[in-house]
Structure 1
Amino acid sequence: MDRERNIWVVGGDLRQRALARLLREDGHTVHIAALEGEGLAPEPLGPGLALAHCVILPLPVTQREEILHTPLSEEEVTLSQVLDYMEAGQILCGGLVSPAVRAAGEQRGLRVFDYYAREECMVANAVPTAEGAVQVAMEELPFTLHSARVLILGFGRVGKLTAHRMGALGAKVTVSAQGYEDLAWAAAYGHETGRLETLSCELGGFDLIVNTIPAQVLDRRRLQWVNPGAFLLDLASAPGGVDRAAAKELGLRVLQAPGLPGRTAPVTAAAAIRDSVYHILWELEA
C-alpha cells in the first residue's frame, strides 16, 4: 500500500497466519491475537486495538454463537472481547460476516466490511477451491479422473473452475444447474448439461459428484439414486448441500470440504484477503 498501517489480525486458520506475514512483508505494523505457529508471537487483546487502522477477523468470523474461529490457538476469544477494545469509526473486516456480527459491530459505531463478499476475493478463492477439489478427488477415487464420470452441481465461480480443471484432466463432466444461462455457458464450454430441478435417476451414472450449491440439493430422495460406489464432495458453505444423515444411512461416501483454500493453498487465499482489505481501505480514502 501507499503508507504503513497498524493492523490487527485476530484468530483464523492458515490463511490468517499467512496474511499476517504478507502484511508485514508489505511494511505494515501487524499485531496478532489468538493465532499461533511459525514463530508468530500473539499478543493479548487490549487497548492497542483502539489504535488499529483495521482489525481483520477470520473466515468465517465465528464458529458458534459469538466465539471466534480460532483453530490455531488454544485461546477461546469472543467477538465482544474484540469489540469492547475498539472505538467508533474504526474499520472491522471479516469473512462471511453474519448479520449478528455486523449488527454487533455497527451498534458500537464500527465500520464493518465483509472481505469475502467482494467479487475479487470470491473469484480469487475459487481458484484454489477448484484445485483443492481436484486434489481431494484424486486422493479419494480408486481410479484416475481421466474418463471418470463427474457431475458438478452448480455453475457459479467454483463450479465453472472445477468443471474446467476436471475436464482438462479428461473427466467426462456433466453440469447440473438451475439457470438457463448457466446451462448455456456449461454447454458452450463443452460439458454435458442437465436441469437441477429434474435431477433424479441419472445420479446413478456418476463416479464423482461435486456440489457447489449452498442449499440442500442432495436430499434423501435424490441420494437414493446415487451409485453406492460414488464419492460425493461437498464444497458448499455450511450447512452444505448434502443430507449427511441420509447419506450415512445409505452407506454413501461424503466429504464436506468448505474452506479448501485454507487447507490446500493458504498463501494464495491470504493474498486474496489482503488485496480485498487493501481495496476496502483505498475506497474509504478515495
Structure 2
Amino acid sequence: MLQGMNILIMGGDARFLIVMDDLIGNGANVHVIGYDQFTVQQPNIHSHSLDTMDFSKIDAIVLPVSGTNAQGKMEAMYSEEEIYINAEILNQTPKHCIIYSGTTNDFLTQLAEENQRKLVTLFARDDLAIYNSIPTAEGTLKIAIDETDTTIHGAKILVLGFGRVGFTVARLFKNVGAHVHVAARKSTDIARITELGLQPIRLNEVDQQIQDMDICINTIPHLILNKELLDQVSKETLIIDITSAPGGTDFAYAEKVGIKTVHGLGLPGKTAPKTAGKVIGRIINELLEEQYKKQS
C-alpha cells in the first residue's frame, strides 16, 4: 500500500487516467497537472496548475511515456496549458522525490543529475517494453490496414529492427498472413528470425531488397530511412515509423519524392489506452511500493 504518499502526474494521455485509478486503489494521494479539461470525480485526485502546486510535499513525479522535449516541455492531452519541468520545480521537492518517466533524453537526465533527484526510465525495463509492444503492434497493423487498399495477407512486409517491438510486430504480421522480412544487424537475431519462419535481411543489405516491399515498418530509433535508402523505395510502398520523435525516417525527403509515410507516435495510448495504462500502473505501483518501504 502507498498510504499517505503524494504522487504527482504531470501531463500524459488517456493511459494515465488508468494509472491514477490504480494509484488511488493502492492508497496514494494523486495530484495532477495538465488535466484541467478532465472532470476529476475521485476525492483523492487533486488537480493543480504549475502555479498552484505545492511541490514540497511530493514523493514522486510521474511524467508522460514520451518524457519531455529538449526544453523540458511535455505532452498534455487534457490541457492547453504549457506543462514543463525544470530545476526550479525540482528544487522545491523533497530530496527523496523520484522522477518516473517513460523515456529520457539529455535534458531530463542532466536535470535529474544536477538537482540530485533519482530518475527511473520505465521503458528501459524489458517487462514493460514487451507488454507495451503488444498494443504498439496492433496499432501498427491498424495503420497498415487503414492506409492501404490491399489485404495485409500476402503483402510483402519489411520490419527494420528486431528488438522488443520489432519482434512482436513481425510475429503479428506473420500471423495475419503477410510475407515478413526482418532486417537486423546481429547474427543471433538473424538466427532467431530464421527460426521463426521469417525472412532475414542483413541491415547493411536492406537497400538491395527494400524496393520490392509493400510496407516498410521502422522500429529503429535513429535515422535509418535516410535519403540514400529512400531513393531505393518504390513510390507504391507505405512507410510506417513507430519510433519516438523525431523518428528514424527523413519524412521531409520522403514527402518530396512522393513516398507515403505515417509516423505512428503513442500507438498504445491510441489503440488500447486501458490495457496500456494497466501495464504502466502495475509497474509504477511496484516501484512506488519499493520506494515507500525505504522511506518508512
1:136-285 to structure 2, matched below 5 A, reads 136-284=143-291, 285=293
1:92-103 to structure 2, matched below 5 A, reads 92-103=99-110
TM-score by length of 2: 0.89
Question: What corresponds to 2:35 in structure 1?
Answer: 35
TM-score by length of 1: 0.92
Instruction: Please give the per-residue CA displacement for 1:178-218, whole angstroms capped at 9, x wherever unaligned.
Output: 11111111111000111110111311211111010112111
Task: Out of 171-180 and 15-24, give the one that drifted further.
Answer: 15-24
Moved over 6 A (4+): none
Shift of 1:84: 4.2
The alignment-based identity, stated in percent, is: 30
Please give the alpha-carbon distance, in whole angstroms, between the structure 2 residues aligned to 1:43 and 1:222. Answer: 48
Aligned pair partner of 2:49 in 39, 44, 53: 44
Task: Go from structure 1 to structure 2 and tell me whether the alpha carbon gap of 1:168 and 1:4 turns closer, same or farther (over 3 Å shift).
Answer: farther
1:123-134 to structure 2, matched below 5 A, reads 123-134=130-141
Instruction: Please give the per-residue CA displacement for 1:209-264, whole angstroms capped at 9, x wherever unaligned.
Output: 10101121111121122121111000112221211122112100001113211211
Please give the alpha-carbon distance, in whole angstroms, between the structure 1 residues aligned to 2:209 and 2:115. Answer: 52
Task: Go from structure 1 to structure 2 and tell me whether the alpha carbon gap of 1:24 and 1:221 turns closer, same or farther (over 3 Å shift).
Answer: same
Shift of 1:89: 1.8
Please give the alpha-carbon distance, in whole angstroms, between the structure 1 residues aligned to 2:81 and 2:261. Answer: 31
Instruction: Please give the per-residue CA displacement for 1:87-129, whole angstroms capped at 9, x wherever unaligned.
Output: 2121221121223223223333322211222222111111111
* Preserved CA contact (<8 Å) 1:186 1:192: yes
* Preserved CA contact (<8 Å) 2:70 2:107: no
Instruction: Flag structure 1 segments of 5+ consecutive residues without an equivalent.
Output: none
Task: Go from structure 1 to structure 2 and tell me whether the alpha carbon gap of 1:255 and 1:206 turns closer, same or farther (over 3 Å shift).
Answer: same
Task: Out of 249-258 and 110-119, give the one that drifted further.
Answer: 110-119
Shift of 1:47: 5.6
Please give the alpha-carbon distance, in whole angstroms, between the structure 1 residues aligned to 2:290 and 2:195. Answer: 36
Question: What corresponds to 1:11 in structure 2?
Answer: 11
* Residue 21 of structure 2 is aligned to residue 21 of structure 1: yes
Shift of 1:277: 1.9
Q: Report the 3-state secondary structure (helix = DSSP H, G, I; strand = E; otherwise coil) of the residue aligned with 1:217.
A: coil
Shift of 1:4: 5.4
Question: What corresponds to 1:61 in structure 2?
Answer: 67
Shift of 1:142: 0.5
Shift of 1:276: 2.3
Q: Report the 3-state secondary structure (helix = DSSP H, G, I; strand = E; otherwise coil) of the residue aligned with 1:233.
A: strand
